[in-house]
């Protein structure tokens, strides 16, 4: 009954109209008549804590939210798991241990921790992580391994990435997919440098090592002024990748980040390498578990069927509240997908996207009166098949204020001057009271979140979504920044 009354209250909160036209509404009216959004598809809703509408336009128009969708993913994950939830990675073995020798394989069993091998400050540094794993082996009396190090990410079945993602995106660092055992956010770094126009771009893989990969360079150095259109085309179906596109002669050398589709194998390789470098003997190298449950080595020839190992112990990720913070501040697609897939796995022991979205909907039913008002197909917003209206987003953000996880959710949102908001109102006094998530892709720019009062409590809940914009993104950002500034000034 208490939950029903809460949702009923939220349902009636939004239709209340402001008695007088606010400065924010006058600015919205101006944008409708002229300016950078005149011919775009866009909508906005901003309400104060009493339900008074401060600004509205096309409030029920469903649009592509881009990374604004991460608000839903991080919010529902925090609500479902709790801010202190931690991902688990298990270490196990098969075979027998005799006189310090393991006659079998060591398994690294992933359960979705997206921070393994990452360079983020919240991630356990590789040397310390591997020391923890070796400690578990030593405690079991294992000193030598007559077998393999097997990376097992098979807990998550299905595609690594959502099938609606654009083909060129899935080879980039922001379009790499998640599996249950990953490493370095399933990405690889390539150092690229322009050569003579018409010749291939100079390329060198810097980190991580993936010695099983066949990487072909089909890129071209372009004339000055033609920019950077390098993409890595790759798949998890075979260890092949091609660098395509162009890199102009007037471009400085840089490190490009691309997708690595073999996160579990990479994790096993680096643990194997660490063991060998620290005096351990591992007779048969490293391997992973393929989609069909077979152990395969770096030659990609399936060997034997994977078996259930004896678990020796586990290591833990950073708390979810810290992962959610990076997800929203940096707008990290990889972390967002990991959170969505974890919800599916916990709810139904299936990380297939359909199962994940069923689990997410059950959580939304506790937060908003109309969970069907959102169309969500992935966790990060990279798909253009996601749709949401400003009104629904505001309802969700209001619902999150009633969640026990709201403090952590609010703390996960960036303010101007940090992360993806680094160029938004960076010098504005009181900018720390603007706590919004950005969302952007070609023709799309969105901001949703809160304006806080001087006590740090939400005074305004807002969502402004713009689609099909043709104006330069800097002009659209400036227009939306002015709108946020007007809302901020209204809370002083």
What φ, ψ does residue 138 adopt, rounded to 5°? Answer: -65, -40
When pLDDT is cut at 50, 70 and 90, the band that residue 76 belongs to is very high
Do 459 and 430 form a contact (C-beta atoms < 8 A)? no
- 1 by Cβ neighbours in 10 Å (0-12 / 13-18 / 19+) ranks as exposed
Q: Which of 318, 330, 319, 409 is nearest to 363 (CA)?
A: 409
Residue 130 has pLDDT above 70, yes or no: yes
Q: Which residue has the tokens 């833990």?
A: 316
- Tell me: do 110 and 256 sit in the same domain: yes
- Least confident span in 183-197, 261-275, 343-357: 343-357
Of 298, 318, 338, the position where a domain reaches its end is 318
- Tell me: do 297 and 335 sit in the same domain: no
Residue 5 has pLDDT above 50, yes or no: no
Residues 297-330: tens digit of each pLDDT: 999 988 889 999 999 999 999 999 999 999 999 9
The domain tally of the chain equals 2
Percent of the chain exceeding pLDDT 90 equals: 89
- Tell me: do 312 and 402 sit in the same domain: no
Residues 438-466: tens digit of each pLDDT: 999 999 999 999 999 999 999 999 999 99
Residue 18 has pLDDT above 60, yes or no: no
The b-or-e profile of 108-139 (16+ CB within 10 A means b, else e) is bbbbbbbbbbbeeeebbebeebbebbbebbee
Of 292, 318, 344, the position where a domain reaches its end is 318
Mean pLDDT, residues 254-270 taken together: 97
- Tell me: do 326 and 219 sit in the same domain: no
- Pairing mode, strands 310-316 and 88-93: antiparallel
Q: At what angle do helices 320-330 and 69-81 cross, to 10 degrees?
A: 180
Separation of alpha carbons 476 and 436, rounded Å = 16
- Which residues form the domain of 454? 2-83+320-490
Average pLDDT, the chain: 93
- Tell me: do 166 and 314 sit in the same domain: yes
CATH code of the domain containing 440? 3.40.710.10
């Amino acid at each position: 009954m208490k939950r029903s009354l809460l949702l009923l209250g939220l349902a009636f909160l939004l239709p209340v109209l402001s008695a007088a036209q606010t400065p924010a509404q006058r600015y919205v009216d101006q944008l409708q008549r002229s300016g950078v959004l005149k011919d775009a598809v866009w909508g906005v809703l901003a309400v104060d804590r009493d339900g008074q509408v401060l600004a509205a336009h096309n409030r029920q128009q469903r649009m592509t939210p881009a990374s604004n969708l991460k608000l839903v993913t991080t919010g529902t994950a925090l609500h479902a798991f709790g801010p202190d939830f931690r991902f688990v990675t298990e270490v196990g073995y098969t075979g027998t241990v005799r006189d310090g020798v393991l006659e079998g394989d060591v398994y690294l069993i992933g359960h979705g921790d997206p921070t393994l091998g990452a360079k983020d400050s919240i991630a356990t540094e590789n040397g310390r992580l591997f020391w923890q794993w070796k400690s578990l082996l030593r405690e079991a009396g294992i000193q030598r391994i007559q077998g393999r190090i097997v990376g097992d990410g098979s807990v998550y079945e299905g595609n690594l990435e959502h099938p609606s993602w654009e083909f060129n995106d899935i080879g980039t660092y922001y379009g790499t997919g998640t599996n249950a055992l990953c490493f370095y956010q399933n990405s690889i770094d390539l150092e690229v440098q322009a050569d003579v126009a018409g010749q291939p771009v100079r390329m060198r893989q810097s980190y991580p090592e993936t010695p099983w990969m066949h990487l072909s360079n089909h890129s071209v150095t372009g004339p000055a002024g033609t920019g950077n259109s390098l993409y890595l085309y790759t798949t998890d179906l075979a260890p092949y990748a091609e660098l395509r596109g162009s890199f102009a002669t007037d471009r400085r050398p840089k490190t490009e980040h691309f997708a690595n589709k073999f996160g579990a194998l990479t994790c096993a390789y680096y643990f194997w390498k660490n063991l060998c470098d620290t005096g351990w003997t591992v007779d048969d190298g490293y391997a992973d578990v393929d989609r069909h449950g077979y152990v395969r080595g770096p030659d990609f020839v399936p060997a034997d069927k994977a078996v259930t190992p004896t678990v020796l112990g586990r290591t833990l990720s950073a708390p979810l509240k810290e992962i959610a913070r990076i997800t929203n501040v940096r707008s990290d697609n990889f972390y967002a997908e990991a959170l969505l897939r974890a919800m599916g796995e916990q709810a139904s022991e299936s990380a297939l996207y359909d199962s994940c979205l069923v689990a997410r909907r059950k959580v939304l039913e506790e937060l908003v009166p109309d969970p069907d008002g959102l169309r969500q197909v992935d966790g990060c917003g990279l798909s253009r098949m996601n749709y949401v209206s400003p009104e629904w987003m505001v309802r969700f953000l209001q619902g999150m204020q009633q969640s026990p996880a709201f403090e952590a959710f609010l703390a996960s949102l960036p303010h101007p001057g940090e992360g993806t908001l680094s160029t938004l109102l960076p010098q504005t006094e009181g900018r720390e009271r603007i706590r919004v998530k950005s969302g952007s892709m070609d023709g799309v720019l969105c901001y949703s979140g809160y304006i806080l009062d001087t006590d740090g409590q939400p005074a305004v809940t807002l969502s402004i979504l713009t689609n099909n914009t043709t104006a330069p993104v800097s002009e659209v950002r400036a227009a939306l920044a002015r709108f946020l500034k007007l809302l901020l000034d209204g809370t002083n």
